[in-house]
Structure 1
Amino acid sequence: MRLLEYQGKELFDQYGIRVPRSHLANNITEAREGAKKIGIPLVLKSQLTVGGRGKAGAILKVKSQEELEPKFTELLHKEVKGELPRGILLEEMAPIKQELYLSLFLNRSKRCYSLIASAEGGVEIESSGNKVVVDVPVDGISMQTAEDTAAKLGLTGNAAVAFVDLATKLSRFASEKEAELAEINPVAILGDGSMVALDAKVIIDDNAMFRHPELKKYEHVSALEKQAEESGFSLVELEGNIAILGNGAGLVMSTLDLVSDAGGKAGAFLDFGGKATTETIYEALKVISQIKHIDAILVNLFGGIVKTTLVAQAILDAYKNNVINVPVFARISGAESEKSREMLQGSRAKLYPTVDEAIQAAVAAVGKKQ
Structure 2
Amino acid sequence: MTPISHDATLPQPFGEPFARDPHAVYATLRAAGPVHRVALPDGSPVWLVVREADVRAGLSDQRLSVDKKHSATGFSGFSLPPALDANLLNVGPEDHLRLRGLVARGFTPRHVDRLRDTVRAAVEERTGHLARRLDGGGEADLVAEFARPLPLRVIGALLDVPSGDRERFSGWISTMLTPGSREELVRAIGEVHRFLVGLVAERRARPGDDVLSDLIPARDEGDRLTEEELVSLAFLILGAGSENVQHVISAGVLTLLDHPEQLARLRAEPARMADAVEELLRYTSPNQTAIRRFPTEPVEIGGVRIPAGDTVLFALASAHRDPDRYPDPDRFDIDRADKAHLALGHGMHYCLGAPLARLQLTLALGAVVDRFPGLRPARRADGLRWHSTFRFRALRELPVTAVR
More relative contact order, 1 or 2 (CA 8 Å, 6+ apart): 2
The answer to whether the superposition gives a TM-score over 0.5 is no
Higher CA-based Rg:
1
| Structure with the higher helix share, 1 or 2 | 2
TM-score (norm 1): 0.25
| Structure with the higher strand share, 1 or 2 | 1
TM-score (norm 2): 0.23
